[in-house]
Amino acid sequence: MTATSLKRIAMLSLVALFGMGPLVLFIGNANASSHTTFQTNRKNAGTPKSSTVVVDPSTGVVISYGNSAITYSAPSAALATVGQALFLQNCASCHGTEANGVPANGTSGAYPNLVGVGPATIDFWIESGRMPAADPRAIQANRRVARLTHKQALAVAAWVNSLDPSYPDVPTPHLKNANVSDGAALFALNCAACHTIEGDGDALAASTYSPSLRNIPAFQVVEAIRTGPGNMPRFTGNLSDYQVRDIVKYVTTEIQHPQNTGGLGLGGLGPVAEGFVGLLLGVGLLALVGFWVGERQ
C-alpha cells in the first residue's frame, strides 16, 4: 500500500467525518423530542409507553395511563369472573370458550381470535352494539343499540384481557382544551377519504361500508382510531393522543352538530339532494307557476 493511497484514505475519512457531522444534529433532535414525554410512534401509541402511568402499589398492575388529552384506564380485574360468565353467555358460541376464535365444534380461523387485542377493542365492539353479532355471517356488523351495559362490556374486556394483558386500555378523551381547527384539518387528511368530509359514511367496495359518525360517543371515536375495527386502519404512529383528541372534538361538535348557516342541511347528501331540490322545487315549482298563468288546453 503506497503512501498516497493511505493519504487518500485519511482524507476521505476526514471528509466522511465532516459529511456525517450534521447527522449529529438529528441524533440530538431525536433525543430532544424523546423527552417531550408523550411523543407517539408506531409501537407506543395508546400504550403506557407514551404517557404517565398510574400503577397499583400493591400488585404492580397498570391501572391507568395517559396525558392531558386522553386517559386510558384498565377495566378492574375484579370484574373478570363476571366477565367470563358474560362471555360464555354472549360470545363463546363463535369466539370459543377460550376467546381464541375456535368455537366448540368449529375449525380455527373462522372467527377472530380475541386474545391479546386489548380492552379498548373488546369495549368498542360491545358498546357500539356490533357484538354480539346480529348475523354472524354478515360481511360487516351494523351499529345498533348495545346488548350489554357499559359495566358488562368492561367486565368482558377485563376477562379477555386477563388471558393475555395488552393495550390499548379503554380511553376517556378530555376535550376541554382541544383545538377544533386542527381536528378539522386532521379529519380531512385522515378520515374523509372513507367517512366523507361531512362524516356521513358511505358504501365502500364489495359489501362493506364506512359507518356514519353522526351519533358516536367521544370515547368510541378514540377506540376506533386506536384499534382500527373492521376495514378501518389502526391509527398509531401518525396521530398523537393530542391529535386524536382534536379529531374527536371536531367529530363530536362540527360533524355531529354541523353549522348549517345556509338553512336546511338537506341530509348532508350534497349535490344529489341539491339536484333533487333544484329540479323539483326550483324548476318544478316555476313550471307549475307557468302552468298557472298560461293557457292549459
Partner 1 sequence: MSSDVVNTKRAKSQALGPYGKVGNALNELDDRLGVAKGGRTFMDKIFPDHWSFMLGEIALYSFVILLVTGVFLTLYYIPSTALVTYHGSYLPLDGQRVTEAFASSVNLSFAVRAGLLMRQMHHWSCDIFIGAIVVHMARIFFTGAFRKPREMNWTIGTTLLILGIVNGFLGYSLPDDLVSGTGIRIAYSIVLSIPVVGSYLGFLVFGGNFPGTAVIPRFFILHCLVIPAVILGLVGAHLFLLVRQKHTQFPGKGRTENNVVGTPMFPVFMAKTTGFLFVVAGVTALLGAFAQINPIWQFGPYEASRISYAVQPDWYMGFLDGALRIWPSWSFHSFGHTIPLEVLVPSVILPGILFNIAFAWPALERRFTKDFASHNLLDRPSNRPKRTAAGVAVLALVSMLFIASSTDVMANFFRLPLNEVLWAMRILVIISPFVAYPITWKICKELQAVKGGGKRKTTNVVTRSADGEYVATPAPVYVDDLHSELEASQVPKFIVEEPDEQNESGVRTTDR
Residues that bind partner 1 (CB under 8 A): 179-185, 188-189, 192-198, 200-207, 209-210, 250, 253-254, 258-266, 269-272, 274-275, 277-279, 281-283, 285-287, 289-297
Cis bond before residue 22 (omega within 30° of 0):
no
Q: Which is nearer to partner 1, 89 or 260 (CB)?
A: 260
What is the smallest separation between the CB atom of 130 and partner 1, expressed in angstroms? 15
What is the smallest separation between the CB atom of 257 and partner 1, expressed in angstroms? 11
What is the smallest separation between the CB atom of 291 and partner 1, expressed in angstroms? 4
* Distances from the Cα of 59 to the Cα of 56, 124, 169, angstroms: 6, 27, 18
What is the smallest separation between the CB atom of 68 and partner 1, expressed in angstroms? 20
Q: Which is nearer to partner 1, 56 or 202 (CB)?
A: 202
Q: Which is nearer to partner 1, 169 or 198 (CB)?
A: 198
DSSP state of 196: -
Phi, psi (rounded to 5 degrees) for 173? -80, 145
Q: Which is nearer to partner 1, 172 or 179 (CB)?
A: 179
Q: Which is nearer to partner 1, 10 or 204 (CB)?
A: 204
Asked if residues 118 and 167 have their Cβ atoms less than 8 Å apart, the reply is yes
DSSP assignment of 119-175: HHHHHHHHHTT-SS-SSTT-SSPPP-S-SS-HHHHHHHHHHHHHHS--S--EEEE--
Phi, psi (rounded to 5 degrees) for 154? -60, -40
> CA 278 to CA 283: how far, in whole Å?
7
What is the smallest separation between the CB atom of 211 and partner 1, expressed in angstroms? 10
What is the smallest separation between the CB atom of 266 and partner 1, expressed in angstroms? 6
> CA 201 to CA 251: how far, in whole Å?
13
- 209: part of which helix (H) or strand (E)? strand 209-210
Length of the chain: 297
Identity of residue 234: R
Q: Which is nearer to partner 1, 166 or 179 (CB)?
A: 179
What is the smallest separation between the CB atom of 212 and partner 1, expressed in angstroms? 9
Q: Which is nearer to partner 1, 24 or 264 (CB)?
A: 264
